Amino acid sequence: MSELVVLPIFPLPDVTFFPHTFLPLHVFEARYRAMITDALARDRRIVVVRLRPGFEAGYEGKPAVFAVAGGGEIVNCERLASGRFNILVKGQWRVRIEGEVPADTLYRLVRARRLEDAPVAGEVAAVVSRIRRSCKRLLEALDRPLDVLDGALGPEQEPGMIADRVAAAFLPDADLRQSLLETLDVGERLRRVSAALDDLANELKGGRE
């Protein structure tokens, strides 16, 4: 079991941050500008966590967040003349938030534990192939370039990485994405991603008929 670490959190509505992906963010609130400033002076690591429904009433305070979130490193940062930031965060790990840490900072700090994928049980090559074919069909239907498949979903990529990247790039449902983030069984995650892609393709096809 991994050790607990203290990390700052960036709570956002309907944002699910997966490992092996990149998340661009525009940071404008004073508390999160302070968080980015401090993170850049330390190890550049932050946690992006989804706010639970109903957060609006307590947004200025400490609204409830989901327990499982995405942690990563700020790999690019542009500080604007206004004091705002444009940042790019590289997803590195899933984390489970174990509790909040009392702090005198404007932003929130939590104790978090890194989560590891469960070892892949059984053969997943067939479902990975289905996912690649589904992604290709969706890109073709949307008239998007196919070269993304060569790198992000290439045969050398790990199955769990493929599931995460496809979920981040193709699946719009916030609840499904959060559920996939919480799914540590890679085989199950792949199967659910594949089924969701099929549903998305059917919706797209139906909308064009």
Is-contact 7 71, C-beta < 8 A? Answer: yes
Strands 109-115, 4-12: pairing is antiparallel
Per-residue pLDDT of the chain (209 residues; tens, 9 = 90+): 578 999 999 999 989 999 999 999 999 999 999 999 999 999 999 999 999 988 777 677 788 999 999 999 999 999 999 999 999 999 999 999 999 999 899 999 999 999 999 888 778 889 999 998 888 888 887 777 677 666 677 777 889 999 999 999 999 999 999 999 999 999 999 999 999 998 887 877 665 54
Instruction: Write down the pTM of the prediction.
Output: 0.90
Please say whether the structural domain 125-208 has been given the CATH code 1.25.10.
Answer: no
Is-contact 48 178, C-beta < 8 A? Answer: no
Is-contact 196 176, C-beta < 8 A? Answer: yes
CATH code reported for the domain at 4-115? 2.30.130.40
Is-contact 153 165, C-beta < 8 A? Answer: yes
Residue 85's SS3 state is strand
Q: What is the structure's pLDDT at 205?
A: 64
Domain boundaries, the chain: 4-115, 125-208
Strands 4-12, 85-101: pairing is unpaired
Residue 80: HSE in the Cβ half-sphere, 13 Å Cα cutoff = 10
